[in-house]
Amino acid sequence: MGITEILKAPIDLKLKVLHVVRIVIAAIGRLFYSLYYGNEGQKIPTITDEILKESTIEVARKIRQKEISSVEVTEVCIRRIKDVNSALNFFVEDRFELALKEAREADELIRSGTLSIQQLEKEKPLLGVPFTTKDCFAVKGLRFTSGIVLRKDFISDEDAGAIRQLRDKGAIIIGITNVPELCMWWETHNHIYGRTNNPYNTTRIVGGSSGGEGCIQAVGGSIFGVGSDIGGSIRMPAFFNGIFGHKPSRGIVSNTGQFPTPESALIDSFLGVGPMTRHATDLKPLLDIMAGDNKNKLKLNEPVNINKIKVYYQFSSGAPLVDAVDPDIIIAMKKVVEFLSVQHKLDAEEKKIDLLRKSLPIWMATMKTKQKFETLIMKNEGVGAILKEIGKNFIGCSGNTLICLFTALSDHSGIEVGSERHLHYIKLRENLEKIFTDMLGDDGVFLYPVHPTPAPFHNEPLLKPFNFGYTAIINCLGLPATAIPLGLSRDGLPIGIQVVANHNNDRLCLAIAEELDKAFGGWVEPQKS
C-alpha cells in the first residue's frame, strides 16, 4: 500500500498500518540500543546499613524509643546517597547540614521527655525520619527547577503543601531528586542535571516524572519519598524501580507548591501527590498525614476484609501504537489472580473494557489547555522559535530536551480546546469513569498493568512514546491506584501491576498492596550479590 492509499484509508486501517510501522521501528531500535549499551551496566554497592531496609513506621518507632537516633539514620541516608549517586544520578540538591541540625533537635526532644512516647506517636509520628521529594515540589531554601534550564536559579521560599504536612509531623527532608524537563516525559533527563540510571541495570530508564525519587527509594537513599502523578509519574517509576507508589483519589492531597501548576480544575483533578516506599505498610500512614483535613474522606482506619473484595482484571488495553504486554507481566498477573483465588476464595473476573483502547487520545485531549507548552520552557514563543531550538538541540546547544521541543511543536496542532472533537473526548472520559465506578462500587478493585514492558533502554521511549497509556487513563478518571512490585523479569528488571479502586476507596488498594507484599516479597534490593 502506497502513501496515497494509506492517507485515503479509514482511520482504523491507518492505525493498523502505523502500528505495524511503529513495531518495526521499535524492533530495529531495540537491536541498536542493545548493541550500543550492552546488557550489563554499572554495578552499584549493596546496602550495608540494615536500617535502610526497614519500613518507615519501624524506623520512626525505633527513633521514638531511642533504639537508634535520628542523627544516625540521617547520616546513614547521606552516606548511602554519596555511595551510589555518582553511578545513578538521582539526587540533585541536598540540605544535609540543615537536616542533621533538625535530626539533633528531634533527638533532643525525645531525650528531654517533654512528650511521652505515646504523645510523640500521636503528635509527631514521623519525628526524625529522613525523606526526599522530586524537583517539582517547593522545598524552602532549595532550587525549584522542574528540570527547566530557565528555572535553574529559582529558590523556594516556602514548602509545598504535602511537604509541609510531613514536616509538621516531624519528618526531615534531606534533599530533592531528579525529574524530566517540565515533568512531562517518562524518562528522567534534563539539561540541568542530566540523566538518571536504573539501579537494576544502569543502561535502562527509571521512568518519570518521579524517576529520581523511584531510584533513591529502590537503593535505600532515604526512608520514604514523595512523588506526583498526572499521567503515571508515581506509578511508572515505582514499577521500573521495583517499589510501591500510590496515586490517591482526586482532590485528596494538596497540589499547592508544584510546578507546573495545573491550569484548570479538570487538569488539577488528574494530578495526584502520594507516597513512594519500599514497604507497602508505609503507604497508609503516609497518606493519612499527606491527606491533611481530607483524610476522613478515605476512612483509612476502617478495616478491610480482603475475602469480601470483588476483583476484576484486564491483561491489556489493546490500544493501537502501544507495545504488547510483556509475557513476564502477564504471568505475574495470573499468579496474583491465582493467589487471591486460593488464599481468599475470590472469584476474580476478567474484563475486556473496550473503551480502554482509547486511553491515550482521551488523556491527551482532556489534558489540552489554551496555554502553549513552549511558554513554560522557552524565552520565545511560536513555531519558528521551537524549530530553531530543535536545530540547536541537534548540535548540542539547546537548554531544552528534544522530547519537550517536539511536544511544544505538537501543541500547535491537533484538538482545539472547546471544539466538537475535544468535547467528544471529554464525554468518552465521563463514560469510561461511569463504567469503572459502576463496576467497582464500594468493594471492588481492578488489576491492570502499570506499563506494557519492564524498563527500556535509555532513549528507547522515543520509539514507543504512547506506552504510558496504562497509567494515564487512571488519572483521567480520578481513581486511586497503587503500583505493586512482583519480583524481577527474566532480564533481572522489576515487574508488577497496579491495583485501582473507586473514588476515596484508597484503603482497598493499600490493603491489596500489603497482602501482595507479604505473598510475593515486594521490593528486591537492586543488584544484590
CA distance 280 to 510: 7
The tens digit of pLDDT for each residue in 149-159 reads 999 999 999 99
Known active-site residue 233 = yes
The tens digit of pLDDT for each residue in 269-325 reads 999 999 999 999 999 999 999 999 999 999 999 999 999 999 999 999 999 999 999
The tens digit of pLDDT for each residue in 320-350 reads 999 999 999 999 999 999 999 999 999 999 9
pLDDT of residue 11: 56
Known active-site residue 209 = yes
The type of residue at 303 is P
Q: Is the pLDDT reported for residue 233 higher than 70?
A: yes
DSSP letter at 93 equals: E
Does the domain made of 56-363+418-520 have the CATH classification 3.90.1300.10?
yes
The tens digit of pLDDT for each residue in 455-467 reads 999 999 999 999 9
Q: What share of the chain is helix, strand, coil (3-state, %, to 5)?
A: 45, 15, 40
> pTM of the predicted model, to two decimals?
0.96
3 state SS of 294: helix
Cell of 474: 487512571
Q: Is the pLDDT reported for residue 9 higher than 70?
A: no
Among candidate residues 69, 70, 124, 134, the one labeled active-site is 134
300 or 16, higher pLDDT: 300
Contact between 147 and 177 (Cβ < 8 Å): no
3 state SS of 239: helix
Q: What are φ and ψ of residue 406, in 5° steps?
A: -65, -35
Among candidate residues 146, 228, 233, 489, the one labeled active-site is 233
Among candidate residues 146, 156, 209, 249, the one labeled active-site is 209
CA distance 220 to 199: 11
CA distance 410 to 19: 20
Residue 224's DSSP bridge partners are: 131
Contact between 228 and 212 (Cβ < 8 Å): no
- Per DSSP, the residues of 137-167 read B--TTSB--TT-GGGTT-B-SS--HHHHHHH
CA distance 132 to 262: 23
CA distance 450 to 467: 10
Q: Where are the alpha helices (DSSP H) in 276-326?
A: 283-290, 295-298
Q: Is the pLDDT reported for residue 8 higher than 80?
A: no
| Confidence band of 10 (pLDDT split at 50, 70, 90) | low
Cell of 78: 547521606
Domain spans in the chain, listed from the N-terminal domain onward: 1-37, 56-363+418-520
Average pLDDT over residues 502-512: 98
Place of cell 509520628: 125
